Amino acid sequence: MKFPSTFQIIPVLDLMGGVAVHAIAGRRHEYREVDGVLGRGADPVALAMAMTRRCGTRRIYVADLDAIGGLPGHLDVVTDLVGHGLDVWLDAGIAGPNDAMPWLEAFESLSLVLGLETISGHEALAATSRLAPERMVFSLDLDNGVPRMAGSWGTTEPEDLFRLVAEAEISRCLAIDLVRVGTESGPWATGLVSAWRRSGSFGNLFAGGGVRDASDVKTLADAGFSGALLATALHRDTLA
């Protein structure tokens, strides 16, 4: 895989019921165990290591779908991933600072994803970020372009949401359209870069959902994204 040198590819590991699953279109009740060219989901740690090697990175985005749904999460898997030296960005359904603190105390380097679909509004975002802003990642969760949000934000405009994130001193942002995840539908979020820049945001913006191949990665890089989240393209080996 050859991409722009500054563009970051971040593999995605979706965990549910003790295994890594293949996420498709946000229909979580239909997700099934991964069975791809890099391995199967029954051993999520081995799969994660294979994915990061394939991408030439130590970073991985982990969505703990059980934790996001209010069930006990995959602490053992996360512990193993961190123990293998991976730079884990974890989405574990954080609603506010009380949810974040145990993770921050248990792991020195783990980054927490504060998803729009679970964080309880902009005040909860700010309060959580104050614990350790350098360890926070914001995810603009969308449902076919419409923000999927919990709590009170006072706006549904991406530019305004990004502005609130910048005010919370969070420098890493994701834009993920959950309906497009796993669908290989192609780039969709190129217009969000302008909204992110107008908001006064700083740092990096990453795109997730629908990436099919290297040409899609180039489209996102040309649009101004700092990187992309990938899963299906890795499982099906379509990036060569």
Residue 146 lies in a domain: yes
Residue 228 lies in a domain: yes
Q: What is the pLDDT of residue 159?
A: 95
Residue 209 lies in a domain: yes
Q: Per-residue confidence at 188, pLDDT binned at 50, 70, 90?
A: low
Predicted confidence (pLDDT) per residue in 103-124, tens digit: 999 999 999 999 999 999 999 9
Q: Are 151 and 126 in contact (CB under 8 A)?
A: no
Q: Does residue 199 surpass a pLDDT of 60?
A: yes
Residue 134: CB atoms within 10 Å? 10
Tally of domains in the chain: 1
Percent of the chain with pLDDT over 90: 71
Predicted confidence (pLDDT) per residue in 69-116, tens digit: 999 999 999 999 999 999 999 999 999 999 999 999 999 999 999 999
Residue 240 lies in a domain: no
Here the CATH number for the domain that contains residue 119 is 3.20.20.70
pTM: 0.93
Residue 12 lies in a domain: yes
Q: What is the pLDDT of residue 31?
A: 78
Residue 1 lies in a domain: no
Average pLDDT, integer, range 35-51: 96
Helix (H) or strand (E) holding 161: helix 158-167
Residue 55 lies in a domain: yes
Q: Which residue segment(s) compose the domain that 126 sits in?
A: 8-235
Residue 2 lies in a domain: no
